[in-house]
Amino acid sequence: MGAPAVKIAVCIKRTPDSESRFKIAASGVAIDETGLKFDMDDFAGYAVEAALQLNEKAGGGETVVVAVGPDSVQESLRKAMSMGAERAVHLKADAVPADGLAVAKALAAELRDGGYDLILFGKHAFDTSAGVVGTATAELLGLPCVTAASQLAIVNGKGEARRELEGAAELVEFTLPAVVTIDEGVARPRYPSLKGIMAAKKKPLETKPAQLGASRVSVQKAELPPERPAGRIIGEGSAAVPELVRLLQTEAKVL
């Protein structure tokens, strides 16, 4: 007794390794990409995994991965296919604009007539850390949208999700088709198997120009935040507690 098969699109972004030490490029408006490792964004990875698990549970359906950007995004699309996605669509653009709505317009144009039951995104991408594109795409498509889902299931033809709120959690039910943006907690992305990597090379990857909207957000400046002053160890063991309390009272004035 499996759930009915669903057709799922997952929109993914390619971002630099979040553990990197960043430098600012000579232009002053972007990071210096020299030597950085790029990969599918962490939250996009959770979204791909969530889609694959929904299809596996149903014993059918299809997962299509979609990305906007230069040719380098194809590497992330192939990775998603090596995890198990059936096919990929590359919406080609020289760069991903800083304007999330402009990106959403390109994705909405691609997804509108795709017949998808579910469209997944990461809750935000590491680089912009804004979380605009998924929800704006839903709105442009006129679809219901659940943001930052930490659990996701399809039960009796309806979606069910959990969202973490500030100090609470919300359990929601929604009609399909729908857009869901995925938080950590849904599922840890699988590592592609060797067989998966081989199979991905033969899976279809379609390339077409991205129909981006006009970008009305531009980066004027990128800078590293001020470093914290070097840390200070005030002592060892519980013997240092009175000194800590004194400093919290007189120097930091937080007690």
Partner 1 sequence: MANVVVFAETRGGTLRKVALEAVTAARALADASGGGEVHAIVAGTPGTASAATQQLGAHGADVVIAVEHAALAQFARESIAATVAERAKQGGYRAVVLGFSTQGRDLGPRLAAKLDAPIAADVTEIAVSGDSLTVKHPGYANKVTLTLTLTGSPVVLSVRPGAFTAKESGKTPRTESAQPALDPSAERVVVKDVVEGAKGRPDLGEAQVIVAGGRGLKAAENFKLVEELADAFGNAAVGATRAVTDDGWRPHSDQIGQTGRQVSPQLYLAVGISGAIQHLAGMRTSKTIVAINKDKDAPIFKVADYGIVGDVLEVVPALTAAVAAAKKGS
Nearest to 36 by CA among 79, 72, 71: 72
From 54-62, 66-74, 80-88, 171-179, span contacting partner 1 (CB under 8 A): 171-179
Residue pair 147/182 in contact (Cβ under 8 Å)? The answer is: no
Q: Which is nearer to partner 1, 142 or 194 (CB)?
A: 142
Q: Which is nearer to partner 1, 129 or 156 (CB)?
A: 129
x/- mask, partner 1, residues 15-54, rule CB under 8 A, reads -x-xx--x-x------x----------xx-----------
Which of 94, 156, 232, 250 binds partner 1 (CB under 8 A)? It is 232
Minimum CB separation of residue 228 from partner 1 in Å reads 5
Query: Does the protein bind partner 1 through residue 3 (CB under 8 A)?
Result: no
Which of 33, 75, 170, 206 binds partner 1 (CB under 8 A)? It is 170
Question: Which H helix or E strand runs over 181?
Answer: strand 178-182
- Within 10 angstroms of residue 16's Cβ, the number of other Cβ atoms is 17
- Within 10 angstroms of residue 32's Cβ, the number of other Cβ atoms is 13
- Within 10 angstroms of residue 137's Cβ, the number of other Cβ atoms is 29
Give the β-pairing of 158-165 and 168-175. antiparallel
Query: Does the protein bind partner 1 through residue 248 (CB under 8 A)?
Result: yes
Which of 147, 189, 192, 210 binds partner 1 (CB under 8 A)? It is 147
- 3-state class (DSSP) for residue 253: coil
| Alpha carbon distance 146, 167 (integer Å) | 18
From 2-10, 50-58, 92-100, 110-118, span contacting partner 1 (CB under 8 A): 92-100
| Alpha carbon distance 169, 235 (integer Å) | 40
x/- mask, partner 1, residues 98-137, rule CB under 8 A, reads xxxx--x---------------------xxxxxxxxxxx-
From 4-12, 48-56, 66-74, 144-152, span contacting partner 1 (CB under 8 A): 144-152
Number of residues that bind partner 1 (CB under 8 A): 81
The half-sphere exposure of 250 on its side-chain side, counting CA atoms within 13 A, is 6
